[in-house]
Amino acid sequence: MSFENQAAWQPGPRADLEIKTAPQYIPEAGEILIKNQAVSIQPFDARIRAEAYVNVPYPFILGSTIAGTVEVVGPDVTAFKVGDRVVSDTPTYAHKESTKWGGWQKYVVSKAATTAEIGHADFDQAVALPFALLTAVAALHLYLGVEKLGEGLAKEGEKVLIWGAGGSVGGYAVQYAKSVGYSVIATASPRGFERLKELGASQVLDYRSQDVISQLKSLGPFKYAMTASGDGASQLAIAEILQPVGGKFASTLGGDVDIPSNVERVYGPFSQATQKLQFKDFADWWYRQYLPKVIKENLVEPTPVEKRAGGLAAIQRAADDIATGVAKKKLVLNPQE
Ligand SMILES: NC(=O)c1ccc[n+]([C@@H]2O[C@H](COP(=O)([O-])OP(=O)(O)OC[C@H]3O[C@@H](n4cnc5c(N)ncnc54)[C@H](OP(=O)(O)O)[C@@H]3O)[C@@H](O)[C@H]2O)c1
C-alpha cells in the first residue's frame, strides 16, 4: 500500500516545527500502522518542544497519543484488522531511535499491545483521555497501591487527598479514587471547585489559602495522597500534612525538593507505565478492558476538549499555548487536515 506521509518535524532543541515529508513505514511483528485522525497535545510534549525538557535525537517527531483507523497490520497481529477505529499510546519517548512512533504525523506506527479499539466513539474525545487518565490511574494503582477497579473497594470512610486537582490528571485522579470507594478531598483554584465536586470530591479547598495545610490535617488522615500539579510547593505541603506519622505520596513531577525522611515521594513516568514489560498484565487490562469500556460507555467525565483547526501546521501554536498555560482545555488536532 502506498500513501504520502507528512510530519511536524522538530529539527533541533527548542527549534520551530517544520512540516515536511516523513517515511512510509511498514509495521513489523506486533505493530500496526494507523491513519492518524486525532492527536492530543500533552504538557510533556509541549515542554520537550519548547524547553528540550527531555533529550531526544533530532530531527525528531514528538507526540504519543493518537486516534485513527488501522491501515496495515503487522505480520502476527490478530487483535486488530484494517479499518478498526482505535486510540493508541505509542512508545515515542521509550524507543527514541525511530520516528515511526511520533504522533505529530499523518501515518503512525504503534504497538498492538498499547492500542485500544473504540467502536463508534468520536476520535477527538477518545484521544483526549488516555495520557492523563493513565497517569492518574498508574500513579494511584500501580505506584501507590490503590485498588484496581473491579478488584476491591476502599473501606467505609477511608480518604484520598488529590492536591492540584484542577487539571486533567487531577480530575481523573479524583474520579478514579472515588470509583473505588474512597472519600476524596481535593485542592484547586476556586474556579474548579464545582467541577471537582461533580467529579466526586467530597470537599475542595483552595491550595493558595493561608491555612490550607492545617485544614487538610484536620480532614485527614489520608490513606493515599497525590499531587497532580507536581510542583515543589505541593510536595512540601503533602509532606507536612502527613506529619507526624509520615507516609508516602505520588507526584506527577520530580525536582529537588527537601522531603522529610519519614516521607517517601513516589515519582515516575506514570504516563509511560504501559510501555514497561513489568506492567504487562496491567497493560492488557488497560487496553483490552478498562480503556475501551471507559471510552465507549462514557465512564469518566473527560477533561474539556478544544479542537484546533489547521492540522500539522497548527501544532506548534497549540503546543506553545499548552506550555505557557494559555490553553485551559485539552487541545486536539487532526493531522489529516
Ligand atoms: N509523571 C507523569 O507521567 C506525568 C504525566 C502527565 C502529566 N504530568 C505532569 O503533571 C502535571 C499536570 O498535568 P495535566 O495534564 O493535568 O496538566 P493541566 O491539565 O494543564 O493541569 C494543570 C493544572 O494544575 C493546576 N496547577 C498549576 N500550578 C499549580 C500549583 N502551583 N499548585 C496547585 N495546582 C496547580 C492548575 O489548576 P487550577 O486551575 O486549579 O489552579 C492547572 O489547571 C504537569 O506538570 C505535567 O507535566 C506528569
Task: Output the DSSP codes for 269-328.
Answer: -GGGGGGSGGGHHHHHHIIIIIHHHHHHTT-SPPPPEEEESSGGGGHHHHHHHHHTT---
> What are phi and psi for residue 324, nearest 5 degrees?
-95, 0
Res 335: pLDDT: 98
**Cα–Cα separations (whole angstroms), residue 90 to 111, 127, 274:** 7, 12, 10
CA dist., res. 97 & res. 22, Å (int): 15
Q: Establish whether residue 206 lines the binding site of ligand 1, counting it when its CB lies within 6 angstroms of any ligand atom.
A: no
CA dist., res. 205 & res. 325, Å (int): 22
The position carrying cell 487531577 is 170
The position carrying cell 506486533 is 30
119: left (phi over 0), alpha (psi -120 to 50) or beta: left
43 CA: nearest ligand 1 atom: 47
Q: Ligand 1: which residue has its CA nearest to atom 32?
A: 164
CA of 167 to the centre of ligand 1 (A): 5
Locate 187 and state its grid cell. Answer: 485542592
Q: Establish whether residue 44 lines the binding site of ligand 1, counting it when its CB lies within 6 angstroms of any ligand atom.
A: yes
Q: Which CATH class is domain 5-129+302-333?
A: alpha beta
CA dist., res. 147 & res. 128, Å (int): 24
Q: How far is CA 155 from the centre of its chain?
A: 28
Q: Establish whether residue 188 lines the binding site of ligand 1, counting it when its CB lies within 6 angstroms of any ligand atom.
A: yes
Q: Establish whether residue 168 lines the binding site of ligand 1, counting it when its CB lies within 6 angstroms of any ligand atom.
A: yes
Rg (CA), the chain: 20
Domains of the chain: which residue ranges? 5-129+302-333, 133-271
Superfamily of domain 133-271 in the CATH hierarchy: NAD(P)-binding Rossmann-like Domain (3.40.50.720)
Q: Which residues contact 32 (CB under 8 A, 6 or more apart)?
A: 70, 71, 72, 73, 74, 77, 80, 86, 88, 109, 110, 111, 112, 115
User: 10 Å Cβ neighbour count for 11?
Assistant: 12
CA of 94 to the centre of ligand 1 (A): 22
The position carrying cell 469500556 is 293
Give pLDDT tens digits along the chain (337 positions): 667 999 999 999 999 999 999 999 999 999 999 999 999 999 999 999 999 989 999 999 999 999 999 999 999 999 999 999 999 999 999 999 999 999 999 999 999 999 999 999 999 999 999 999 999 999 999 999 999 998 888 888 999 999 999 999 999 999 999 999 999 999 999 999 999 999 999 999 999 999 999 999 999 999 999 999 999 999 999 999 999 999 999 999 999 999 999 999 999 999 999 999 999 999 999 999 999 999 999 999 999 999 999 999 999 999 999 999 999 899 999 999 9
Count CA atoms closer than 13 A to 115's CA, side-chain side.
29
**Cα–Cα separations (whole angstroms), residue 301 to 1, 199, 239, 245, 317:** 39, 7, 30, 35, 27
Q: Ligand 1: which residue has its CA nearest to atom 1?
A: 252
Locate 55 and state its grid cell. Answer: 533529550
CA dist., res. 38 & res. 129, Å (int): 12
Residue 156 burial class via C-beta count within 10 angstroms: exposed 0-12, middle 13-18, buried 19 and up: exposed
Q: Ligand 1: which residue has its CA nearest to atom 33?
A: 164
Helix (H, G, I), strand (E, B) or coil at 111: strand
Beta strands 224-227 and 201-206, pairing class:
unpaired
Res 328: pLDDT: 87
| Helix residue spans in 184-289 (DSSP H) | 193-199, 212-219, 232-241, 280-285
CA of 80 to the centre of ligand 1 (A): 34
Q: Ligand 1: which residue has its CA nearest to atom 46?
A: 43
Locate 142 and state its grid cell. Answer: 500501580
The position carrying cell 497535545 is 41
88-111: b (≥16 Cβ within 10 Å) or e: bbbbbbeeeeebbbbbbbbbbbbb
CA of 148 to the centre of ligand 1 (A): 23
